[in-house]
């Protein structure tokens, strides 16, 4: 074995595995009849986060934040049309990198917003 090839192989063995990327923090968002918890969500601009949506009711609800999802870079999960739709008892996750801003949130189901199912995302 040539010395340079031997040194390269030895360096790979000593270096070990590449540093793993840290797991983004999880922000749980509960959907219930008729509200969100928390009602105001605070996130850090440019930092990955996983939003874990949990529908705690037996009825369908959604988390509609079109401007927020359009401004964010989605890394995993889905927010088709700027919303996450959940059947009763269902959960879903979206991992993203949010952009700074203040974004309105509401449930798009008939009368749900009027009954108080709205909130705000603030990204600093």
The helix/strand/coil state of 23 is coil
Of residues 34, 38, 43, 99, the one with CA closest to residue 61: 34
Domain boundaries, the chain: 23-123
| pTM as predicted | 0.82
Residues 36-58 have pLDDT tens digits of 999 999 999 999 999 999 999 99
Of residues 17, 53, 51, 55, the one with CA closest to residue 33: 55
* CATH of region 23-123: 2.60.40.420
Residues 60-88 have pLDDT tens digits of 999 999 999 999 999 999 999 999 999 99
């Amino acid at each position: 074995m040539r010395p340079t090839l031997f040194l390269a192989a030895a360096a790979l063995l000593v270096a070990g595995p590449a540093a793993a990327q840290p797991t983004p923090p999880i922000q749980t968002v509960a959907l219930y009849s008729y509200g969100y918890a928390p009602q105001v969500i605070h996130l850090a601009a440019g930092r990955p986060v996983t939003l874990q949506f949990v529908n705690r009711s037996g009825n369908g609800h959604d988390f509609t934040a079109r401007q927020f999802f359009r401004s964010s870079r989605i890394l995993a999960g889905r927010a088709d049309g700027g919303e996450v739709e959940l059947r009763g008892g269902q959960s879903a996750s979206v991992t993203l990198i949010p952009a700074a801003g203040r974004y309105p949130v509401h449930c798009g189901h008939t009368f749900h917003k009027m009954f108080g199912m709205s909130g705000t995302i603030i990204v600093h």
